[in-house]
Each structure stands twice: as C-alpha cells, then as structure tokens.
Structure 1
Amino acid sequence: VNMYNEDPGAHFNQGIFGGEGKQKTQQLKNLTTAEIKNIVGGLNRPPFMCNLSLVDFDDKTPLELLELLNTVLGELDETHKAVDIRSETQDATTERICGFLTVLGFPFDLTPSLKRDVVHGDKKTIHNILNWILQRPQDLKRISYTSKFLVALSIPEELMMDEEIRETMDVYKNLQAEFTAVHQNLEVLRSEAMSPDQLKKEITQLESEKEQLISKISIFKDKNDDPDFKDLLDATSQLRKEQETEARNAEKMSEQRNMLEQSEQQEYMTRQRLMDAQKNSSADVTADQMLVQLRNETKKNRELCYDVLEREYEDKYQRSQKIEMVLAEPVTTQGDIDQLANEVRRLQRDCQVLDDKLSSTNPADDNLAIYKTQAAAASKKKENKNDEMQTLEKEKIALEKLMAEKEQEYVQTKGTKYMKRDDFKQYAASLRGKNQKYKKMKKNLEDIRSELAVLNRTEQILKNKAEMTDDLMKKLEEQKGIAGYSKIQDDMEKVAKDRQEIDKLKEGSLQELTKVVQNIEEQLKSKKSKLAPQIKQLRTYRKKYEEREGDYLKHKKAYENTLMSFEADKKNLEEDTNKLWNEYKEEETKYHSLNIQSTIHSVLKKNIQMETQFQKNPDARLSDDFKSLSEMYSAKLEQEDETIRDLKKHQRYVKDNLENNSLQVRLFDDLVKILAVKKKSALSGEAAGIGYEDKNAKDYDRFVLRED
C-alpha cells in the first residue's frame, strides 16, 4: 500500500487545525539578503549552532548544502540523523527527503525537476527549503510527529469490498479521530498549564506577600488598642466581601448580556428562516427549487466559514501572538535604552569602517567574482538548454500529431492491410535486420564524424603552425638578404597547379610548356645553389632558437614556482596579522569593560561609605529632607506606590462609569442635533420639511426628523 499517494500534510492541517489545504505555488523564488540572514541566524541558534557567516554559507558546495538540510530535517525527525548522505543512493535520498517535505506540507509542487535539484544540492532550492523550515520549526516538528498517525491509506476499491478490511479501515479512522481529539486537548493543556518554575516563583511570591500582610496586620493591631478596632475590622472585612460580591455580579451581568445578544441573534436568524419558508410556501415553490435554495445557502455559509472566519481567526491569532510576545518581554528601563543606543552607534561606526574598506579595495581583487560569473554563466546556459529542450519536446509532439494525421489519411485512402502471422514474423525479422544494420551504420557514421572533427582540428592546427612558420621564414629571409625564397616555392606550387590545368585544357601546347618548365627548373636550380649556404645557416639558427626556447620555459617555470611560494607566505602573514589584530581588539574591549566596572564599583563603594557615615554620625545628613540614601530611596518607592494606587483607582473609576459616560455623550450629541434643527426651523419659519409625526406609535408621541 502506497503511504504517500495523498498529501498527508494537507490531511494533517485539516484534521488538527481545521483549515483547508492551500494551493501550492509552481516556482521557487529568489531569496533576498534579509531572508538569507534569517537562515544563517536560525542555523547559528540552538539546537543547530553551526557558527556560520554569510560568506561561509554562500561558499557551501552542493554536497555540504545537502548535508546541512539533512541536519535540519534530523531535528524535526530523528530518523534522518542516522542517514549518511555520502553513502546513500540518489533515489533513496529523493524518496526520503521529498517524501518528508510532502508530509510537512511543503508549499511548492515537488516536480521531477525540483526533486532533481534537491538531490543535486541546488543552491536556490536548498535555500528556499531552509527558509521555509526555519520560519516555523516547532510547528513542523509537531506536524512530523502527528503525521505518522494521520496518513490516509490508499486501498483499492475491489479490496474495500471485503468486510474485514472495511471494518479494519473504520477502526483505523476512529483511532485517527481519537488521536486528533487527544492531541488537541494536550495542546490546550500545554498552552494553559504553567511550568513548575513559574508555579514555584508564584508560590514564593504569595508566601512573601502573606508574611508582609501578617506583619502589617500585627503592627496595625499593636498601634490600635482601641476597643472599637474589632468593629472597624469587621466592617472593613464586610466591605471587602461586598466588593467581591459586586465584582462577581458584574461578571455575571456581562455573561448574561452576551447570552442575551446570542439569543437575540438566534431569534433574528430563526425569524429570517421563517419568513423565507413562508415566502417559498406562498410562491408555490417546488421541492427541487427549495433544495437548490438550501444548497446555495449551505454553500454561502460554508464559504463564509472557511474563508471569512478563517481569515479573521488567523488575524486575531497573529495579533494575540504579538501581544503575548510584547507582554512576555521584560520592562525596558532607561539604562537598557541607553545601552541599545550605544550599541546602535557602535554598529553604525563598524558599518562605516567596512564601507570605507570596501570602497578602497579593488573589485578585481574579489576572489569570488570569478566563481560568481562562472556560476551565472552556467545557470544561464542551463536555462537556455532547458528552453531548447522544451521547444524540441513541443516540436516532437507536433510531429507525432502530424504523423498520426498522415497515418489516418493513409488508412482512409489505401485501406487497412491485414498481415498474417508468417508475414508479420518476416516483417519483424526484416525490421530487426534493418535495425542492426542501421545501428552499425550509425556507429560507423559517428566514428567517421568524430574522426572528421579530429582531422579538421588537426588541419586547423597545422595551418596555424604553417602560417607562423611562413612568417618566421620571411623575417629570416629578409634579415639574411634572401627574400623571396619561400615565395618562389609557393610560385612553384602554383606553377605545378597551373601546369596540371594547362595539360588538361591545352594538350596541344605541351612542348611550349615543357620549355617553360625547363627554364623555371633551371632558374630554381640556380637559385637553390645560391641559397644553399644561407639555408644551412638558417638551420643552425633554428637549433639555437629551440635551445633558447627551452631555457626560457625552464626559467619561466622557476619564476612561477617562486611567485607561488611568495604568495603563500604573504597569505600566511596576512592571516597571522588578522589573528593578532583580533586578539588586540578583544583585549582592548576587556580593558574598557574592566575599567568601567572599576569606576562603577568605586562609586558604589563611595556611596556605601557615605551611607555608613550617615548611619553612625547622628548629626550628618544627606539633605534637609533625608538623612541617608536609604531614606531617600524608600521615600521615592513610597511615592511611586502611592502614584500607582491612585492610577489604579482612576482606572477602576473609568471602567465602572464607562457605559454611563458614553450614554451621556450620545445624549448630548442628540441634544445638539435637536437644538440645531430647532434653530434652523426658527430661522426659516417653516417646520413642514423638518420631519413628520409617527402615527404608528402607540401610548406616546414621536416626531421623526429628516436627515437633510
């Protein structure tokens, strides 16, 4: 049974989160620099801790990118950690990684080309997958766990006819539904439950508050020995109980109002349905028409539920997540703000220094520029080849279609030809013989073409060498005063060609041609005899040239080796220099931090000494209002507590009187409108166009104002 013939990721999303599967996109996008930075940041955080920079991440080879992807998938599912990419076959890697991405609900279509890019470690593909995973690692980890139990089995219909298999399938679906419900309850409990550390902190805080209250009550009892104190204490406790009862009643009132609104809404919907039913019954609507109307209404309600409500739910969920993140953050103090401002200024200075370095460096010294251009050229070449392959496939389909049409025309014109078994065997044997002969001829043709290409290349190389040799010969002939020797040889070749042509065209003038040839040969012999010593000298010069060329190549090789050794030493020195510079910067940072800490400790020590003097010396005071620092700080804390209590009282007062105040504002607005209408009617002297009397009103008088 194929376990992955359906989309388990979509099944999981529908089963647990109640959302419909979204349509997948077709093409991967080019990631921005910010998204690549987010990928590197996610890989540098726990549990990965890869310690990568942007340059290191960009320099990753395809195999290293594939290993990095396998590491990330191993954090989502433990089965991927035990797999060695280097020893695994490509088919197994494709089935494992692409199957797991399908289970997770990867938002792109896993086409054969995309699967091939994943196995080959294509940079664009791996970057998109890592970006998608690192944005939601916890959700995907939960999906990878639950999808093992929510995969829909694909069983053929003929097997589903078996009663035992059908019962087993029903049991399997019931277990899946039970697992979904249990998992939802578990997620709710995990989100609502507090951690043990938080519970311990809350318990300790409550115990400390309890002790403080007990101590305050005991101090208050000691100060107040009045016999009426008990009555006062009973009155305050009774007041507190009444306040709690009032708060509970307010909560119940709000709940009752919500229930009243819901019941009114249900009543309105019921009345609307009743009116629709009465309308349908009065208009003599048939049962089919009523069924169509109900289906349309159900379709609208389903669209409202799955589209509008789902979007509202997602928006509110995102807002609640943002609010929870903001509330979970610690309170920002002025010291934190100053520290962040200093950090921003320091980073701006570092960016400026790096920009200056980049602007001062030569772009030609960039070691990655060559590889980037090569990669761009290779990708462009690959795209061109893909376009060519698509055009060829389209041409193939068109030709196949044309061939089918021609065959159909032939059948219509010539009629079908019936072939017996023996004729078909003879025809198949002849086809096999022709096929073997075609393969042999094709192989011979390929060998001839390859040999022809080698010969053409050899001919081109020899022509280039011959041209270089001719140029060198002409220079040497001019230097030695024998210019024209090679030209004479060329003339001889031309004359030989001309002689052949003349022999073919003019056979009757053979004697004249022989005389001309004899004269030319005599001239050649005479010139050869004259040029013989110079040719010998030229041969010696050639030997000397070859010797000098060998010495030149030998010295060139030695120079290149020396240059490479110097560059290696230079690179090592630069690395040592950078290492020492980094150590210097670290030590300088430590020095400044220790200096600041020393200053802070000295100030604290000074304050402690002052505080001890104020405590020991009764005449010494910090100021006219405070004797010591502790008194000043405690006074400020009391002042802040008093301010907080006043603000809470004001907030409680605003919340309690919100409904009355808003009603009063609306009443004042209506009063202003009525006064404006009265003013307008008094100025115009006509009251007929202002409004009209509502005659349908019973037991009271009502005058309806017009909007204009």
Structure 2
Amino acid sequence: MHSLVKYIVGELNKPPYNKRFNIVSFDSLSAEDLLQVLSDVLAELDVTHKVDLRIEVPEQTIVRILTFLRVLKYRPDANISPQTFRQGVLNGERHIIHPILEWLLKNNKDLQKRAYLGKYLVKLDIPSEILSDVDLYNVYEQYEVLVENFKVVHKESELIENSGVNINELRNDLTAMENERDIVVKRLEQMSRKIDNIPNKDQILRAVTQLRLEKDKKKEILTQLSDEVAALHTAQQRYSRLSQQLMEIKKATVGATPQSLMSKLEEEIKVTEFIVKEKLSKDLIQLKRQHDIYSRVSNDSYISKTSVESLSSKINMVRNQVAVLLEKQKYTQNSSNDKLVPFRQQAAIMGRKKDAILDEYRTDMNKYNALQKQVEEKQLELADAGALDMPKGSDFKDYIGKLKQRNIIYKRNRALLSGLKSETGVLQRTLDVLNTKSVQLGVPQDAEALASLSVTSSKPIPHDTDNREELLSFVAQVSTSIASHKARMLPLLDELRPLREEAANVNAEYEEVKKTHDRTSAILETGTEKLLQEVLSLRDLKQSAELERATLDAKQQIARMEIQRASGDTGQAMKEAVLAKIQDRERLAKQLKERHRQMKDSQEQSTRQKLLWSNLLRLLEVKEKALEAVKKNEGTGHKH
C-alpha cells in the first residue's frame, strides 16, 4: 500500500497535475478532497469533468464518475461487489479510490484516446417506447450511420498518421522533378534551334502531328479490335458452356417420365419440409435460448466472483436433480411391464440416425454448391483466357508425345552444349597460359603491335634476339601439345556422346516409369478408399442387424414373460426375477466400467513406455552414429 501511495503522489506532482503532495499530506486527505483529486485526474482526460465538488450534488458526482469509468472500461477487483464499489466511490474510501488513481495514471495515453472515442462511439441508451415514434427512429438510425462513418474516418486518419510520410523525401522528389523539367526544356530549345534552319518546318510539323494522330487512332482501333475479339471469345465460350449444359439436361431427361420427375420433386419437397419443420426449428429454438442467455449476461452490469460461484452451484444442483429423475424414470420403466420400451428405444435410435443423415445431407449440399461455384469460376477464367473449347483426351496424349520428343531433343542438345562448354574451358585456360607467357616475354597485347610484330617477324631475324626465338619455340611446343590433346580428346568425346544419349534415354525411361508408378499408386489409393467405404457400409449393416436382433430378443423376452404369466406364475416371483436380472445387469455394467478404466490406464502407461523406449532407441542410434563419425575422423587423421 505504501508503494501504491508513493507512485500516485509521484505522478500527481508531475505536470500536467502539479499537485505538490507528499505521502503524509496525500494520506491525510479527506474523502471529499480525495474525490476532488479523482475528478481533477479525470478532467485531464475530458474537460467536462473539471468541476468543483463543493458545488455539485453528490448523486450527480457518483453518476458522472461511474459513467466515465464505464466508458474507460475500468474493471474493479473481482472480490468487490458492484454495490460496495459504488458506495466506496460515493464515500471516497481509500481502498477504492487509490486503485482507480493508479490505473488512470499508468494508462494515461491510452485512456486519452479512449475518452476521445467514447464521446462519439458510446451509443445513447434510448428506451424502446420512445423509439416507437417513426421520426425518432429515423433520427436514431442516422445517428448510428454517423457513428459507423466516424469509425471508418478515424481508422483512415490513424493509418495516415502511422504511414509516416517523410517531408524530406517529398522535397527531394520535387527537386528531381524540377531538374528533369529543366532538362526537358533545354532539349526542347535545342530541338527548336535545329528545326529553325529547316525550310519546310511548318509542313513537317503538321505532317508529324498528323502522323501522331493517326498512330493514336491506330492504337485505339487495335484496342477496340482486341476487345471485340475477347468479347467474341467470351460469347463463344458462353455458347459452348450453355450448349454443354443443354446436352447434360437432355441426357438427364432421357427416359424420364412425368411420374418420375414428380416423384423426385416430391422427395425433394419432403426432405426440405422435414429440414425446415424439424431440424431448423430445433436449431432456431436452441439459438434463441443461447441468445437469451447471452442477452441476460450482457445486460448485467457487473458479475462478481460470488455470483458466478452461486450460479455454478445452482447449475450443479439442477444437474444432480435431473440425474436423479432420470434414474427414477429408468427404474420405473424397467420395473413396469411396458411393452413399448424397445420400440421407443428403436424410435430414438432412428431419430438420431435421421438427424445424422440430415447433417450429412446439408454438408454435402454445401460442398456441392461450393464445387459448382468453383466450376463456374474456372469456366469464367477460361473464357477470359480466350479458350474456345476444352481439350480432349486425344489432344492431351498428342501433347504428351510431343513433349517427350522435345524433352529427348533438349537433353541431347544439353549434353552437346556441356561438351562444348568443357572444350571452351580447356581452350580458355590454354589462352590464359599463352597470355601470361607473352607478357613475360614482352610481346605487345594490342592488335597494331601484333601486326607490326608479324611484319617484322617475316623479315630475317637477327641473331641477337634470343627472346623471339624462345617465343617461337614455345609457340611451336604449345601448338604441338594442343594438337596432341585434341587427338586424345576426340576419341573420348566420341565415346562420351553415346553415353550421354544413353543417359538421356535412361532418364526418359525413368520419368515414364515414375509416371506409371504414380498412376498405379493413385489407382491403389482410390481402390483402398473404395474398400474402406465398403467396410464402413458393412459395419453399418452389422450395427443395424445387431439392433434388429436386440429388438427381436426383447420381443421374445416379452413373449416368454406373457407365457409365464398365462401359465399361472405369481407377479411377485416375476418381479423378483426381473429385479435379480436388473441387479445382475448393473453388476455387469460396473464390472465393464472398471475393466474399461483399467484398460484405459494400462493403455496410457503402455503408450508412455513405448514413447520412452522409442526415445531411448533414437538416442542410442545417435550415439552410434557419433561414434562412427569419431572413428572415421580418427582414421583420416592417422592417414594424414
């Protein structure tokens, strides 16, 4: 508490408050003075709160402060009830006012923005009786529209403020544009000076302007032509799409009779009626309940922790009562000789199945509509791209064959290109060696010096030029070595070319085999999916058969009981037998639950043990690899 008071005093002594408090003077403030300090802090966020509390009525003070705190979204401590909080603010209690002051002083910048927005975004609470007037309702709608417009404008202004447009960059752009303008003006002046000397200047200018106009017209005509061609393509695409739809409709109506169409429509109408009357009505009732709960929670001003705990205790109590009632109902149904129990169970199971099928139907319809939209979008994209008709299977096969041939030619040319690149690399290295040797021997590098050198070299060489003789002998040696290397490389290149072709063919065969493998794997995946669907359908059939068997067993048991009753057995003995069976069933259910729990615990333990063993195995593998790497490194170190 001392640190809290110290922080509040330190913040209040800073501008814009400038209160000049110390801890003792602030702690000795009366309730009215403490409320005045709170009002002054709120006045820095909103000027309307700059009020002298000695003049203002206490009820108005509490309403004003609490309303503004609600706008600022202040949340008191969960242990404080709303009534205690209001009374504490009214009485100026320190344990209520001090946390408010701390929160206001810590979040001053955010609260300034929130207070500014609260003036315009907090909607007026108008009763529904007043809004029944048409004029007032129209004005309120205009008010809501203006609030939404304010939100949009405020977001745009924040984006502009945060975008951070640099003024220096704009100035640099302006100076660059002015420099470009000066350059363009100078060029225009130079061109005008050049044109002044031409005799037929006006005629040439008119011809140039006419040429420019004609070029612009040509561009417009070309754009119109392209637009018309695109429109023609879209119309042809639409025609082909509509004709295809017409063909599909005709195929669908082949062999159809009015009775079949009517029966199909009746089935669709029944399904939709069932969805609307039963499924959607249930969903609507559930949504209304949720809406009522949410509205009740939202209308409540403040929910404390104690109220939440009381509500949770009430919910638990109601749940326990419902569970007891359900147990009583089950006991009465089991103890009474009700012949309709299995039929009721069967009806409930069928109802659940019907709801599940309806959910699947709705999801499938949504998927179908989404796929239809995707197909329409793809068709529109094809129409925009200018595709007149869809390619057929034969077209795809021809395209794949051409693509294979081009791939083989490409690989062959790539192999030749790589060989030529290797040869050029060898020649480039020899050229570099020759250049370095020529520099060492003092041979000039430019063409004129080389020409003069060739002319002088055609003349008889004097005996005192040893460098030139060395150069000639070196050139002869290099030429002979190049010739010998070429002679060695030619058979190697001849051997390399068929190997490259063979490698290209092997790559092509590999691609074909890979495609066939992918195709077969896709076929196998589809086959496995079909088998899974068949297994699921057989499982459903098995469940339905088990259900029928259970119903038949129940009917048989009822018939046996009726026979025993007809044969003269007493009702007390029958009741005892039924109760004994019920106890046996309950004992069996408890045993099964215990067994299920044990299996679940053992399963969790086994999965945890399996995970530990797998982690240990991975750790050992990593250690083994690390040891092998260390051994390899040691072996290479000994070799070196």
Bin the TM-score by the shorter chain: under 0.3
Instruction: Give the number of the structure with larger relative contact order, counting CA–CA contacts within 8 Å between residues 6 or more apart.
Output: 2
TM-score normalised by the chain length of structure 2: 0.27
TM-score normalised by the chain length of structure 1: 0.24
